[in-house]
Chain A
Amino acid sequence: MEPLGRDDSIDFSISGILVRSIFDPAKTGRTTGEIINFAGRSYARLQLKSGEISQVPCEQLERIPEVETRLDAIAALRLSGPEHLHRAILTEKVKGRLTDVFYSMGTGDAEFYPHQFKPVLKLVSSANGRILIADEVGLGKTIEAIYVWKELQARFGARRLLVVCPSMLQQKWQNELRNRFSIDANIVDSKQLLQRLERVTEDAATSFVSIGSIESLRARRPRPQDQEPPSESRQRLAAFLAERESSDESELIDLVIIDEAHYLRNPATAANYLATLLAGTSSHLVLLTATPIQIGSENLFQLLTLLDADRYANLDVFNAMRHANAPITEALNAVMRVPADPIRFRNAIQAALKSPFFRDDQLLNQIAIETTDLRKPTDRARVARVLEGRSLLSDVLTRTRKRDVIQNRVIRNASVVRINFSPAERQIYEAIKDSLRAQALYSASAQTLMVMGRLRQLASSIPAAIKGWKENDALSELLWEDLGRIAEEDDQTNLTLGKALPEAGVSLEQEDTKYKELLKLIKQRIAQDVGEKIIIFSFYRGTIKYLERRLRMDQISCAVILGGMGSEKDAELKRFSDPNGPSILISSEVGSEGIDLQFARVLINYDLPWNPMKVEQRIGRIDRLGQASDRIHIISFVAKDTIEEIILDRLFQRLDIFRESIGDLEEIFGETFDELLVEYLRDGLSDEDLAQRLEQNAIAAEAHRLDLVRLEEDAPELVGHTDFILSHIQKSQDEGRWISPSDVIEFITDILNEFFVGSRVERHATKRDLFDISLSTEARASLADFVENTRPARSTRLHAPGQNVSVVFDIAHRVDHRPRPELIDLTHPLVLWLRGEIDRRHTKSATAVAIELSEQRTDAAPGLYVFATDFWRFEGMHRQVVIRNAVMAIHDLNLLEQDAAERLILGAARFGKKLDMFPYAEMASPLKESLALCEKSLLNQFGADAHFFQLENEQRVRQAELIAEERAKKKLTMLQERLHSQRTSTDERRRRAAPLTEGQMKRLIADRDQRLARIALARNAETASRPVSGGVILVR
């Protein structure tokens, strides 16, 4: 400790001396050599960091010490105010490297639901960047996947996103990205995608967000006999991807999202080949599926194989791993339940250690011998983290069920309206049905599908179907919408319907019994409640158009939503949601994808899908998060004595699909149900046969469902304790472990003021959410430089000369203004540039602060606190970057709990005032002693965490090496076989290909060695800690 009047008096007539104010050590500058005498006092002219000149009384200045720790600063009472603590914390947060901050939170124009951040949470801590999202319908998987993208963008500066989905969903993805996240995405075909990827190999800064359909991108696997280089664009794309699959260059695509991934799971298909290629060339992969994942499922195995081909060698290994995983999940649940159950925990750990997968696991062994009683939250969090890291499945799989997130389930009121065809209708129906069934008999499967499609149209609406056939409408949309099948492009087969078709005239429409029933029902409903909102679902575009026309003629206004409508859809939806707008919305399921209809409570199935999953999806539109009504009505129309009636009675009713969320039935239905229907048509089964088979299915399904319920209650092997994860996410949101729009505003304003004086961030006078930003000339030049050099993924007008740019910080407000203001979030070039500027200029020293906080602003008791805040970084095969605090209450010298400590520090940074500590100068040395205690406690924690990280890293390194070797071995064997067959081939051309294969093998070996070398580097995990801030907080 040195006395104040240090012996280093400064000669202010010399320029360039670094000095600071004794009252605000963060205020620093260089002397200019000028001294001004004014009002009997000497002022030194200083040049501040911003370049501005300021005058400070000479006696209040001192030299900046070369090294000053927090301890030195507190001993000398060189303490700054709360704004410096706030800046220090905010800067670390905004830099985007903390692993316990959700950078994607608040980036979408969507209500906050904790479960939607589960995938983000898992992906960030996952080692291989691959995840399967298997939530139940209606929980917002699309949004979850886009959050993953926002997180990757903010953390790692991800530039390239590819969404792959069935072509019917492309529009939906485009809308969702634009409307909720303000991301403009292009729909591409294989040729355009190939062009983009080729550009990436030339220029790593290439950015794109593209959407491609499974249909247009998939390509068949190359056959050994293929000689010529492929010419067709889909094959060329596949060849391009295959060539880069094994290479260790920087990845082509930062994130690939595959929607409806279950269509890709069959290894024999072209779609599956596409998925494996994309998995091999992207650094992150997210698969989405609504198909329920259940225990013992081969489907799950196949999906997981898509995620990580080498991890689960075959189904048997997979099952063995699942089995081994059970005690880990059990232990995890024991830790995370409130209160924790140490006995269960210990038993489970012992059980896990018996399995060959974990026998040699050092960390588990260490935990097993530790004597923690799991009472301290920090202990529990640490143990939970270890267990999660051990889990063989949960790090690649996330699943949320409605029952986990929706507390009060909505009651479903179901009823059926049975239509009695008039004799004329009956005659037409039977004639067409017979004709179609005759054509389906012993037909090829494509033909059968066509027949099925036509039959479905007929069941939907006779007048609409007949009209559609005459106009030769395409069936592919219907097949997707109704049966969930992606029609092969060459599937178009012509059916002959001609003879059976009557003249669809006015009489047919007038006699439309089904429509009349609908009209009656609607009128009834509206008479009961004028404000009633009714949704009518049909899978057939023709029916929807027909209903729209007829309802309009009957003076009932309605809104219509179809697939592929684009932005018009929003206008229709807005019209419908307006209380004074139309009472009726006619929609197809695909048309209504991704929109919220929770405000409606009546749903009419004008026709019935054959697939029960589709029924659930329809109901899912209104029975979802946010349904205000506690009861919804589902009314289904079915014609008597038709196939639909059989399905309804024998299957749907029995399974109670209208009342219960069936969720988990695909397991048993998936393909068997489709096959049954194909059989029915192709093999000419009788209606009785069909009914019987359906009933058998229903019984099996019920039994299966009971099984599942029991299993899930017994031991949730796959997914851990959801409540804990969800409450963790909720807590992160509550306690500000995310970047709010106001954080971004403060960050930008603060840094611009500090470094680029004359720039301005100004709130609009009347539109409170709109801001004007104008940059100073220096700032513009610097930003322009940055944009030119790094070419960020998003563009900006801020560096254009003479521009005042309107911006918003909260995405929810963006659509309110025309022209559209720029949205500034963590991925905006302005923020990226400022982050760089901080890194370039920021002094490494931690500022010490003294802050007074009103007791109304905190839950901490009045009194004096000393705190230290550190930044920890652990890097190896995975990363862990966090900010940790130690806060000590002076009155009893006890350390605060981690959460309370964080709350107090954040509160002080935000609401505190600067505290003058000089009157208490004699206490400086005891304060220093207690700060030293805080530092020591942080250091101990750091040591413990670093040790765990090292152990965990070791484990991951070993796994990674194993995988790399295995993968290479498998490919090498394959290549060797190929080489052998080429060398011994009698075909001259094949023999000539042998050197090519040899070359491939050499590359593979070189690549493997490089990978192993890189993994070996990660073995020496880097662990570092650095002080961020420290000081005193007085609560009174």
Chain B
Amino acid sequence: MSEDWHEKLRKLHDQLLKDKGSSGSAPPANGKSKAQSSSVPSRPVVKARMPAIDAVLGIDFGTRFTKVALFLPHINRRVLLTVDGDKRIVPSRLVLGDDGRLYSTTCGSQTKPKTVIEYLKNRLADPEAGAFGGYVAVGRYQLSEIIRPACAFYLADILRKAEAAARAAFPTELSSGRPVNWFANVGVPTKYFDSDMVETFREVAAIAWVWRAKPAGSVLPVELTAEYQKTVGTISPRDMPIQVAPELTAALVHFSEHLNTPSGAFSFFDIGGGTLDGSVFRLRREHESSSFDILSTNVDELGTMAVTRNLVAHAYKSMTDLVERPIIFGGASPEISLAIPKQIERRIQTFFATVIGSAMQKGLYPPSSQLSRRGLNEAPKPTLPVFVGGGGSRSEWYRGLFVRTCEEYGHSAQWGVAGYDVRIVPAPGGIADDDYPRFVIAIGLTSQNLHFNQYRLPSRYSRNSNLPNRIVSVPNYADTKDLT
């Protein structure tokens, strides 16, 4: 046998050991560096033998913060990317500098920020609504006029940073010599997915995809608008590697990927900072594929930060009793205790009950065909599994509230459920990160099945019509949204 291959092997051996293995958590990417950094060691590569690999980015474009996950299907690995310095969350905002140029996220040290433009996603979805701080002037434009280019500018920056972060996390797998097919999915609030608005999101995402190839930097609003108009004529958004998907389906997709999940009814609650998003769906596993019947969805500003603000507002209202009294009469080290008012708990429970209830009305559990006699041949009452995700999913208080609702609201008698089995969402495949429940939407957005599963969305999106009157002291939605 020739000694030739021994020598080759030894070279491979040395090369492999020199290459740093990808660690489970991605190292911070240098946001400013160009995507292909030269620090990646070069090695002999035979391109002809190397098939292109896929790299899928999932972008959870949140109201206040954006999160990005990466999936490499060929080695079945998912990671959360540290897109902004060492942080896994990036503010969803643009900054208008005093030089009149737009900057993504922050404008750096040379320029002073003039206006911070927040809630990009909500403004894009609903440009005429004044809920997000009224009209903002961007140069000679009203913000509503340039919101599409602005969002595309922002997303392009996110995509650029994400790619760099991905290459830093997987230096070997995504090396410069390696053909890579990049893909991305951007989340869209479920309530807009049924509407025309989804086309707007798709267009903005597609433009961002084109722009990501441009060098990072600032831009004048007027140039941005012109560039947008120019680009939009050259693309066909449905054929781009970047696509959009409803946030809810992103949260659900790995239910179907998790083969250990049977057909049946489930509920999912995303406990965010600002909002609490609830849904009930039925998963059908048929011979062919999985489909989701989404029976009800709802959202209310009952996330962890919203509750916190509410609580502070409540304390503010009764600060004499709650704070001043203990200071005067509480001895040397007064204790100030703040009990969560019953009405907040009630609101969360009512919201929970509404989500479940509207699914019940749509026939979540079809009534048994046989008349059951008490104690005889009575089918056992079903327990509804309720999965929770989001930054607040670790809260035992929320989970406890959900569980208690069954008894306190008489759901057993009313709807025939035995109870709610509240659990944190199971980890998606290929991820080794304990913090995954916070990022469940971003992770879900990396799934390729996202577009192939069937999702039957509720035909009409009803807005809180059944909910009791708002309590006045609840802070503005915009102030609390998505604070994680």
Residues of A participating in the B interface, judged by any CB pair closer than 8 Å: 3-5, 22-24, 36, 38-41, 43, 50-55, 57, 59-60, 77, 81, 749, 752-753, 757-762, 765, 774, 776, 852, 862-864, 890-891, 893, 913-916, 918-927, 929-930, 1034, 1036
* B338 interface residue (CB < 8 Å to A): no
Asked whether, in the complex, the Cβ of B48 is within 8 Å of the Cβ of A3, the reply is yes
* B241 interface residue (CB < 8 Å to A): yes
Given A758-B263, A914-B75, A914-B76, also A927-B9 (CB < 8 A): yes
Question: Which residues in A have their C-beta under 8 angstroms from that of B17?
Answer: 862-864, 1036
Bound complex: CA A52 to CA B453 (Å): 12
Is chain A's interface secondary structure helix, strand, loop, or mixed overall? mixed
Asked whether, in the complex, the Cβ of B73 is within 8 Å of the Cβ of A23, the reply is yes
Given A914-B76, A926-B6, also A749-B240 (CB < 8 A): no
New contact pairs (12) apart from A4-B50, A922-B49, A924-B49, CB-CB < 8 Å: A3-B48, A24-B74, A55-B448, A765-B421, A765-B423, A864-B16, A891-B10, A914-B75, A920-B12, A921-B46, A922-B46, A923-B9
* B139 interface residue (CB < 8 Å to A): no
Q: How far is the CB of A294 from chain B (nearest CB, A)?
A: 58
Asked whether, in the complex, the Cβ of A919 is within 8 Å of the Cβ of B172, the reply is yes
Bound complex: CA A214 to CA B305 (Å): 77
Question: Which residues in A have their C-beta under 8 angstroms from that of B263?
Answer: 758, 776
The 5 A-B pairs at the shortest CB distance, nearest first, are namely A926-B5, A753-B259, A23-B74, A40-B239, A923-B12
Given A758-B262, A758-B263, also A4-B43 (CB < 8 A): no
Asked whether, in the complex, the Cβ of A749 is within 8 Å of the Cβ of B75, the reply is no
Asked whether, in the complex, the Cβ of A929 is within 8 Å of the Cβ of B260, the reply is no
Bound complex: CA A2 to CA B364 (Å): 55
Which of A38, A53, A920 is close to B16, meaning CB atoms less than 8 Å apart?
A920
Chain A proximity mask over B238-249: 1 for CB below 8 Å, otherwise 0: 111111000000
Q: How far is the CB of A80 from chain B (nearest CB, A)?
A: 10
Q: How far is the CB of B198 from chain A (nearest CB, A)?
A: 15
Chain A proximity mask over B371-398: 1 for CB below 8 Å, otherwise 0: 0000000000000000000000000000
Chain A proximity mask over B154-174: 1 for CB below 8 Å, otherwise 0: 000000000000000000110
Bound complex: CA A403 to CA B45 (Å): 65
Asked whether, in the complex, the Cβ of A852 is within 8 Å of the Cβ of B21, the reply is yes
Asked whether, in the complex, the Cβ of A4 is within 8 Å of the Cβ of B260, the reply is no
* B460 interface residue (CB < 8 Å to A): no
Asked whether, in the complex, the Cβ of A929 is within 8 Å of the Cβ of B5, the reply is yes
Which of A3, A760, A916, A1036 is close to B74, meaning CB atoms less than 8 Å apart?
A916
Which of A760, A893, A922, A1036 is close to B260, meaning CB atoms less than 8 Å apart?
A760
Asked whether, in the complex, the Cβ of A762 is within 8 Å of the Cβ of B9, the reply is no
Asked whether, in the complex, the Cβ of B262 is within 8 Å of the Cβ of A864, the reply is no
Question: Which residues in A have their C-beta under 8 angstroms from that of B53?
Answer: 23, 916, 918
Bound complex: CA A53 to CA B454 (Å): 12
Asked whether, in the complex, the Cβ of B13 is within 8 Å of the Cβ of A890, the reply is yes
Asked whether, in the complex, the Cβ of B260 is within 8 Å of the Cβ of A22, the reply is no
Asked whether, in the complex, the Cβ of B260 is within 8 Å of the Cβ of A53, the reply is no
The contact sample of 18 A-B pairs, CB cut-off 8 A, is A23-B73, A24-B74, A39-B240, A43-B452, A51-B287, A55-B448, A57-B54, A59-B52, A760-B260, A762-B260, A916-B172, A918-B51, A919-B172, A921-B45, A923-B8, A925-B8, A926-B9, A1036-B21
Closest to B6 in A: A893
Asked whether, in the complex, the Cβ of A890 is within 8 Å of the Cβ of B288, the reply is no
Bound complex: CA A39 to CA B48 (Å): 26
Asked whether, in the complex, the Cβ of A753 is within 8 Å of the Cβ of B173, the reply is no
* B77 interface residue (CB < 8 Å to A): yes
Asked whether, in the complex, the Cβ of A39 is within 8 Å of the Cβ of B241, the reply is yes
* B226 interface residue (CB < 8 Å to A): no
Bound complex: CA A864 to CA B17 (Å): 8
Which of B6, B13, B50 is close to A864, meaning CB atoms less than 8 Å apart?
B13
Question: Which residues in A have their C-beta under 8 angstroms from that of B365?
Answer: none
Question: Which residues in A have their C-beta under 8 angstroms from that of B358?
Answer: none
Bound complex: CA A23 to CA B11 (Å): 24
Question: Which residues in B have their C-beta under 8 angstroms from that of A60?
Answer: 51, 54
Bound complex: CA A4 to CA B75 (Å): 19
Which of B49, B183, B260, B452 is close to A749, meaning CB atoms less than 8 Å apart?
B260
Asked whether, in the complex, the Cβ of A4 is within 8 Å of the Cβ of B51, the reply is yes
Question: Which residues in A have their C-beta under 8 angstroms from that of B238?
Answer: 39
Question: Which residues in A have their C-beta under 8 angstroms from that of B175?
Answer: 919
Closest to B11 in A: A923
Given A916-B75, A921-B49, A926-B12, also A759-B262 (CB < 8 A): yes
Q: How far is the CB of B257 from chain A (nearest CB, A)?
A: 10
Closest to A850 in B: B75
Bound complex: CA A319 to CA B296 (Å): 86
Within 8 A of A (CB), among B416-447: 421, 423
Closest to A51 in B: B287
The CB with the most chain B CB atoms within 10 A, among A52, A765, A852, A924, is that of A52
Within 8 A of A (CB), among B42-65: 43-46, 48-54
Question: Which residues in A have their C-beta under 8 angstroms from that of B339?
Answer: none
